Structure 1
Amino acid sequence: MSENNISTVRQHLLDTLADLRNRDNPMEVDRARAVADVARVLVDSAKVEVDFIKASGASGGSDFLQPDQVTPATPATGLPPGITGIRRHTLK
């Protein structure tokens, strides 16, 4: 799995937030804005990747959009452990 994935982006954004909140040595706002802009572009490109996967019917997945931890489905229900069912709600 690639080291650069959505979890990496999330961690960098959280680190940037912590640096902005540091009262002793805060990050410059312009630099934080640049980090957020780059992250936004990465997330937008991931959305395009997901749309492509859906449109093409590809089943290979994505190197960028990897779950932090794969939770196997329960064989009996096909749902992750702890999830017993899915209820669909509709507005009336």
Structure 2
Amino acid sequence: MSRNIADLREGLFDAMELLKKGKLDVDQAKAISEMSQVIINSAKVEVDYIKANNGGETPFLESIGDSNLPDGIVGRRVHRLK
């Protein structure tokens, strides 16, 4: 199962809700935060690698979708070679 940035956000928001409700203790929340930071740092390395190689993509950020496209761009098409 492939996880992505949307899954990370959802998990973090779920953890915040549990923390607010007192169903998650502070030490558990800190551990979740630290693990999330490791995932974010690895995604930054992926982005730097893509930049260094003049393009590409990372499955972790793939879920961003078409909602963040610049004005005038209405969609995108991804071609993959196998």
What TM bracket, shorter-length normalisation? 0.7 to 0.9
The one-letter code sitting in structure 1 at the alignment partner of 2:13 is L
Map of 1:80 onto structure 2: 73
Q: Which has the higher contact order (CA 8 A, sep 6+)?
A: 2
Aligned identity (percent) is 32
Report the structure, 1 or 2, having the larger helix content. 2
Q: Does 1:18 align with 2:17?
A: yes
Checking the alignment, whether the CA contact within 8 Å between 2:4 and 2:63 is kept in structure 1 is no
Alignment partners' CA distance in 2, 1:38 and 1:70: 28
TM-score by length of 1: 0.68
Runs of 4+ aligned residues of structure 1 deviating over 3 Å after TM superposition are: none
Checking the alignment, whether the CA contact within 8 Å between 2:19 and 2:25 is kept in structure 1 is yes
Q: How much does 1:31 deviate?
A: 0.5
Q: How much does 1:19 deviate?
A: 0.2
Map of 1:41 onto structure 2: 38
TM-score by length of 2: 0.75
Q: Does 1:66 align with 2:59?
A: no
Kindly report the root-mean-square deviation, in angstroms, between the aligned alpha carbons of the 2 structures.
2.4
Q: Which has the larger radius of gyration?
A: 1
Q: How much does 1:7 deviate?
A: 0.4
Secondary structure in 2 matching 1:70: helix
